[in-house]
Amino acid sequence: MAKKIQDPDFWYSFLLPYVNWHTRRAYRRFEVHGKKDLPKDGGLIFGVNHSNTLMDALVLLSSNNIRKVFIARGDIFKNPTIAKILNFFRILPIFRIRNGVAAVRQNDDSLNKAVDVVHDQVDLYLFPEGTHRTKHSLMRMGKGLFHIAVDANKLFGNKKPVYIIPTAIEYGDYFRYRSTALINFGTPINVTEFFRHTTEENEAANINLLKDQLHDEISKLFTYIPDDDDYDAIWEIVKMRNEKRAGGLYKKMLRNRAIVDKVLKFKEEKPEEAKKLFEQVLDFAKERKRQKISVMSSAKKYPFFISMWKLAILLVGLPYFAASAVVNLPVWLTTLIIRGKLVDKAFSNTVSFGVEFVLFPIIFVVGTILLFCNLPWQWALFGTILLFYSYRVFVDYCELCRRWISDVRWTFKKKLRKQYESLNLNNLF
């Protein structure tokens, strides 16, 4: 009997903890919410928003130790070697019309395999939008996920239920390495119960109903901004009003959503005032970015004192940072070169992760050997510990330095600060 993509594999299981560990260390904070409420019986199909290329799949993979299979767009499977690697990583292809009629014909095989994955109660993850977009919004969903759910329910829904699990990922930043990541699992959609009670006989109509329901449920799980026309202004307001970090990523997301609701209500009730405010916000954002000031600085009332505290930390950590920068030169230099050539900047974090994943272990092994060959074991052990954390320290130090410089600039930009105060965001929202 041919081996299934979801079957246990020694090498996959051997490498998985290492991959998950690397993924988690790619974020300063990593939270998973709602996984305790996932169904324990039946087949689970996870519908997820898609905003950060390969990192979305890696973040989901590291959310728990349960077996998973993913479905990705078929054009990345063109190379036979790459296709084998992706299959090893438990990724199935789905082709679209633009990939050609011949390619689309292969979808039947993938869909049958996907239904079998669900039948074996292995978690199946899909990105129903079909492509990524670095925005807190949702695009139109394709039908692949829902065809799998319908077929799975027809095949074994009378024996065990089939669920679609609305899932959202929210990042602190789409482009900066070592930001934050929140995975939020929502209320399961019981597909089996849906078809038991639906009065609609047309399958296409039922799929559209499920699409609408999944879209609505995912939109409740992250900072969702439905207004594309004023997206940039609304998101800028959210960032300025919710700079504080207290309470964890989930509570921060809830605060974000509350601010979005207030802004949308303001726009609905006072459209002319909202239009004027959004223009002012965008003007401020443009000037802020031109002067290289972080939005986190602009929300601070006393940036001078905060900048002094950050400076003290930077001075204390400078020797370790300098050593870390030298040791990890191959990693950050390679990352800069590759990121500089990217056409789609959404792949920035994927590149940062990939380069660190490949090069840092080599640096760590070689460095550890050199330390133990040239130093007493006590000092070598201490050096190994410092080496282990060196790349994270290097990246976080650079980020702290960027924010410190931003705070200093903001302290002395009186005209820009008056422009911020004139927005009156604290009173409005």
Domain of residue 195, CATH code:
3.40.1130.10
Same domain? 372 vs 267: no
Judge if 19 and 129 occupy the same domain.
yes
| 97 confidence band (pLDDT: 50, 70, 90) | low
Residues 110 and 189 both lie in one domain: yes
Percent of the chain's residues with pLDDT above 90: 78
Q: What is the pLDDT of residues 135-146, one digit of tens each?
A: 999 999 998 999
pLDDT band of 244, cuts 50, 70, 90: low
245 and 336 together in one domain:
no
Count: domains in the chain: 3
| Cα 311 to Cα 79: distance, rounded to the nearest angstrom | 50
Domain annotation covers residue 286 = yes
| Per-residue pLDDT reduced to its tens digit, 25-65 | 999 999 999 998 899 889 999 999 999 999 999 999 999 88
Residue 62 and residue 157 share a domain: yes
Q: Of all residues in the chain, what percent are helix, strand and coil, respectively (each to 5)? A: 65, 10, 25
Maximal C-alpha separation, the chain: 77
Query: What does the alpha-carbon distance between residue 350 and residue 361 come to, in Å, rounded to a whole number?
Result: 17
* Single-letter code of the amino acid located at 16: L
Which of 272, 273, 364, 289 minimizes the C-alpha distance to 327?
A: 364
- Give the structural domain span for 321: 303-412
Predicted confidence at residue 26, as pLDDT, reads 95
Is 244 found in the same domain as 140?
Answer: no
Q: For residue range 158-216, list pLDDT tens digits in order.
A: 999 999 999 999 999 999 999 999 999 999 999 999 999 887 778 889 999 999 999 99
178 and 203 inside one domain: yes
Does any domain span residue 429? no
pTM comes to 0.92
Q: Does any domain span residue 197?
A: yes
- 270 and 357 inside one domain: no
Choose the final residue of a domain: 175, 198, 219.
219
Tell me if 427 is assigned to some domain.
Answer: no
Q: Are residues 123 and 198 in the same domain?
A: yes
How far, in Å, CA of 73 to CA of 367, rounded?
39
- Closest-CA residue to 24 (of 69, 55, 49): 55
**Residues 15 and 66 grouped into a single domain:** yes
104: Cβ contacts below 8 Å, ≥ 6 apart: 95, 96, 97
For residue 108, being part of any structural domain is answered with yes
